[in-house]
Amino acid sequence: MSGVKCINKAICVVASLLILTTNLTGCVGAETAARYSVNSFLSDDKVSLYYPTYASDLCVVNTDIGDGDSGITDSVSAGLFDLSRKETLFAQNVNERVMPASLTKVMTAYVALKYGSLEQVLVAGSDVYVTESGAQKIGLKEGDRMTLDQALRILLIYSANDVANLIASNIGGSIPDFVNMMNTEAYAIGATNSHFENPHGLTSDEHYVTAYDMYLIFNAAMQYDTFSEIINMNTYTTSYLDSTGASKDVDISNTNGFITGAQSAPSGVTVIGGKTGTTQAAGHCLILLARDTAGNPYISVIMRDTDSGTLYNDMTQLLKEIVN
């Protein structure tokens, strides 16, 4: 399997914006924010991506990368990114728009961490309810309250959709305003081929990402220690208050099989954490942070797989690319 090495270029702004138009496969690095052409690998007419300073070394890819014998289902979107060497190890359909299901909640957490404070008390309003059949939730009711820290742990560990609404309404002032923040922040980190319509990922026609954009979003969220801590947690127990001040207990387990121990990573690879997502429209999705025996970090993502068993098999095959 051959990877594509990162290409680091200093990009300057002289008088007016200079856009680097050479097609790149690998990573773009600069000490300041950089713009470059992405016409070759986005399906719309967007002409540039903006990367803030903290993410000055990011992998990009404009073609499938792999040896054709990965064992990964052909129809899925999949990517594997070496964060230390700034190298794309594997890419398959990474720039195709797909529904993200609950991987959306990584973006929700990122925006909440950027604009909220962990001690902030969130109060559930009339917009907290989720009525879609089968949707994961903890049963929040109007007037219930918990801190943002509690809410983020329930959001990312248990993937509760009503908690996503709680966060959005309190941090954004309203759910629609928070969704606008999600889209603004997605563009700011370079995820310009994505569009969000809600904070939880339940099916909506114009709610989509790409596997590559999910890498960008996950990478951005990892700048927050709280995010990195939460995605590694197996279980979480807490109590929040209802409208009368009575305590309500929550005892949840992670939905990620690699964290619970239901799934095993390949020899030489340790899964640190991640996020699952599943809806009928989106299929089965999973994004992970993993490390090799030297401690080097990798982000791996698979989207729109057919079922849970195939998803974990495909992710295991993808993680093998780290040690092959």
pLDDT over 60 (residue 157): yes
Query: Averaged over 100-109, what is the pLDDT?
Result: 98
Count of domains observed in the chain:
1
Shortest CA distance to 170 belongs to which of 152, 196, 189?
A: 152
SS3 state at 242:
coil
Region of residue 185 (left: phi > 0; alpha: psi -120 to 50; beta: else): alpha
Provide the pLDDT for residue 7: 36
Q: What confidence tier does 61 reach under pLDDT thresholds 50, 70, 90? A: confident
pLDDT of residue 55: 42
Among 52-56, 106-110, 201-205, 251-255, whose mean pLDDT is lowest? Answer: 52-56
Residue-level pLDDT at 58: 84
pLDDT tens, residue by residue, 135-147 = 999 999 999 999 9
Query: 274-322 pLDDT, tens per residue?
Result: 999 999 999 999 999 999 999 999 999 999 999 999 999 999 999 999 9
Residue 9 within any structural domain of the chain:
no
Could you give phi then psi for residue 247, rounded to 5 degrees? -85, 140
- pTM for the structure as a whole: 0.83
Which domain CATH number covers 117? Answer: 3.40.710.10
Residue 161 lies inside a defined structural domain of this protein: yes
Asked if 80 and 108 touch (Cβ cutoff 8 Å), the reply is: no
Contact 120, 221 (CB under 8 A): no
- Token look-up 């064992």 returns 71
Q: Which residue has the tokens 């009503």?
A: 162
In a domain, 147, yes or no: yes
Q: What is the pLDDT of residue 142?
A: 98
Amino acid at 150: Q
Phi-psi region of 213 (alpha: psi -120 to 50; beta: other; left: phi over 0): alpha
Whether pLDDT at 255 is above 50? yes
Reported as a single tens digit per residue, the pLDDT across 17-51 is 333 333 333 443 322 222 222 222 233 332 233 33
Is 64 within the bounds of a domain? Answer: no
User: Domain for residue 112, yes or no?
Assistant: yes
198 lies in some domain: yes
Locus of tokens 């057919």? 306
Is 282 a member of any domain?
no
- Three-state SS string across 150-213, please? HHHHHHHHHCCHHHHHHHHHHHHCCHHHHHHHHHHHHHHCCCCCCECCCCCCCCCCCCEECHHH
pLDDT of 130 above 90 = yes
Out of 14-18, 95-99, 210-214, which region has the weakest mean confidence (pLDDT)?
Answer: 14-18
| Residue 73, in any domain of the structure | no
Find the domain containing 191 and state its range. 102-207+233-254
